[in-house]
Every structure is written in C-alpha cells, then in structure tokens.
Amino acid sequence: MIIMVIIFLVLLFWENEVNDEVVTSTLEHLHVDYPQNDVPVPARYCNHMIIQRVIREPDHTCKKEHIFIHERPRKINGICTSPKKVACQNLSAIFCFQSETKFKMTVCQLTEGTRYPACMYHYFTTEGFVLVTCDDLRPDTFLGYVK
C-alpha cells in the first residue's frame, strides 16, 4: 500500500513538472499580460509577475531583463502577417516580423538577486514595435522591440 502511494506521488510530481514546462514555454504565457494585471503596489508589478509566471533562466538564475506586452493576443498573432519582414539579428537564416503599430509594454530590469525566486526588479513602461519569429502564422519567439 505504501509503495502504491509513493508511486502515485512520483507520477503526480512528474506530470506537473512536464505540464509546467509546456505552459511556460509559450510566448503568450511568458510575455503577454492583457489586460494588464492590477498589482496593488505598481512598483512590485515585475516581482509579482515574474514569480506568478515562473520566469527564470534554464539554470534557475534570475533573468536580467523581461518584457510584458499589454496587447490583445489576437493583435499580437497578427504580427505574423505583417508586411514588415526583416532579417533577425544573430539569426541569419530566419526572418523576423515587426508589428505595424507600437504596443504598450512593461520592461522589468533585474536590480537585486541571482537565484530565482530571490530576484528583485525595477520597471518602466514604454511603447515600441514588437519583433517576433513566427511558426505556422503564430508568434513563436519574442525577440525584443524597436522604439
């Protein structure tokens, strides 16, 4: 009986780990916050969102910078049909798509900490043209923005 309980707990843990990795790898989960999350203390927006969405480097260190886009997912998906197709920096064989309009964003910059979850961020808001790579007419990877 004890062995069955242990096996059940191991399978449950393993299943949650697999599902967590799948969810956290999507562009929408990592970068889209629409409508913008209403954090009671705006200065803690980045700290809250980074923890809530489990945003970190693969080696569990703090990300130096992370960007949240405050736009409808449907509008972000439309970037892949944009005529603004440009060569991606550092990805010579791949094309990037640039949004035709500027999107509102929050930029989170690491100020303290090295190991997740002990990361502290400063934030600023900005607007810019979003750059993405696309896979099957859907944004695949967020590469940054242009002012």
Ranges assigned E (strand) in 10-147: 65-69, 85-88, 91-98, 103-112, 120-135, 138-146
The set of long-range contacts for 33-41, using a CB threshold of 8 Å and a minimum separation of 24, is: 33/68, 33/69, 33/70, 33/106, 34/69, 34/70, 34/71, 34/72, 34/73, 35/70, 36/68, 36/70, 36/106
Q: Is the dihedral of CA 21, 25, 28, 30 positive or negative?
A: positive
pLDDT at 6: 46
pLDDT at 22: 39
CB 106 within 8 A of CB 33: yes
The fraction of the chain above a pLDDT of 70, given in percent, is: 81
Q: What is the pTM of this model?
A: 0.81
Residue 110 in tokens? 């690491």
The low-confidence residues of the chain, meaning pLDDT below 70, are: 1-24, 91-93
Nearest-angstrom CA–CA distance, 143 and 55: 16
pLDDT at 78: 94
Ranges assigned E (strand) in 27-78: 65-69
Nearest-angstrom CA–CA distance, 68 and 31: 5
pLDDT at 91: 65
The set of long-range contacts for 37-45, using a CB threshold of 8 Å and a minimum separation of 24, is: 43/123, 45/106, 45/108, 45/123
